[in-house]
């Protein structure tokens, strides 16, 4: 029987935050737990600011990859917009849609050393194409698959299995459209490289009723001692 070779696991799952709100990013970056940021046209629109200003400010706060998405749908215009976004900072990752023109742009950009995040992935076949195009990250959307009655985590399992079969694939699995902590934990069990998480879900990760209960009991008992440190 032939031995199965798999790529070595990352030292730790990377946590990106999925937002364009600089106040939220600053708060999370201060914890030391944030590895990067993802944005998209909807998040930029919600911020009410110019994309170049938002991305520049985020890159000043977070040294890790910051995804900035092109709005164009044709190859040449994607590259023109990518040039504008790349010029903002060295840690900008160009985000392109998983379309023929998007994959062509991914190949061109990655060939010149630019980090590329291929987004709106909904099948393992699409993920394989993105890897062949040289994507730095592939973003499968688990929550949106759940919304239409499918199990989004099945897609993560398929992609990680396929990528692990081919050690030459360097594309990182970036789990997107995370709706709850369970999505994150299941993705980590499957060996996904990155999770991009809304701020509200990141805050849920801290919470457990037994932690709160235990801390309250400790504080009551400590107060009884009359001591200070």
Contact (Cβ atoms closer than 8 angstroms) between residue 160 and residue 192: yes
The overall pTM is greater than 0.85: yes
Residue 93, Cα to own-chain centre: how many angstroms? 11
Close Cβ partners of 169 (under 8 Å, ≥ 6 residues apart): 7, 131, 163
* pLDDT of 157: 98
Homologous superfamily of 14-225: Aldolase class I (3.20.20.70)
* Alpha carbon distance 67, 158 (integer Å): 24
Domain positions in the chain are 14-225
Instruction: Please tell me the number of Cα atoms within 13 Å of 44 on its side-chain side.
Output: 18
* pLDDT tens across the length of the chain (229 residues): 333 334 445 568 999 999 999 999 999 999 999 999 999 999 999 999 999 999 999 999 999 999 999 999 999 999 999 999 999 999 999 999 999 999 999 999 999 999 999 999 999 999 999 999 999 999 999 999 999 999 999 999 999 999 999 999 999 999 999 999 999 999 999 999 999 999 999 999 999 999 999 999 999 999 999 999 9
Active site positions, annotated: 95
């Amino acid at each position: 029987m032939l031995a199965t070779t798999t790529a070595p696991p990352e030292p730790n799952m990377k946590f990106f935050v999925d937002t364009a709100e600089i106040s939220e990013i600053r708060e999370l970056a201060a914890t030391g737990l944030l590895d990067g940021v993802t944005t998209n046209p909807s998040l930029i629109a919600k911020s009410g600011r110019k994309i170049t200003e938002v991305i520049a400010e985020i890159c000043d706060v977070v040294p890790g990859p910051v995804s900035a998405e092109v709005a164009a749908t044709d190859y040449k215009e994607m590259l023109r917009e990518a040039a504008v976004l790349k010029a903002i900072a060295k840690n900008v990752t160009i985000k392109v849609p998983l379309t023929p023109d998007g994959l062509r742009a991914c190949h061109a950009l990655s060939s010149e050393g630019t980090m590329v995040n291929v987004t709106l992935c909904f099948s393992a076949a699409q993920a394989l194409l993105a890897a062949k195009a040289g994507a730095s990250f592939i973003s499968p959307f688990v929550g949106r698959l759940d919304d239409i009655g499918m199990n989004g985590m099945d897609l993560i399992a398929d992609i990680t299995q396929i990528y692990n079969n081919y050690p030459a694939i360097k594309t990182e699995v970036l789990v997107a459209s995370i709706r709850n902590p369970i999505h994150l934990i299941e993705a980590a069990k499957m060996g996904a490289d990155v999770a991009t998480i809304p701020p509200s879900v990141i805050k849920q990760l801290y919470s457990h009723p037994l932690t709160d209960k235990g801390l309250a009991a400790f504080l009551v008992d400590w107060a009884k001692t009359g001591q200070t440190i």
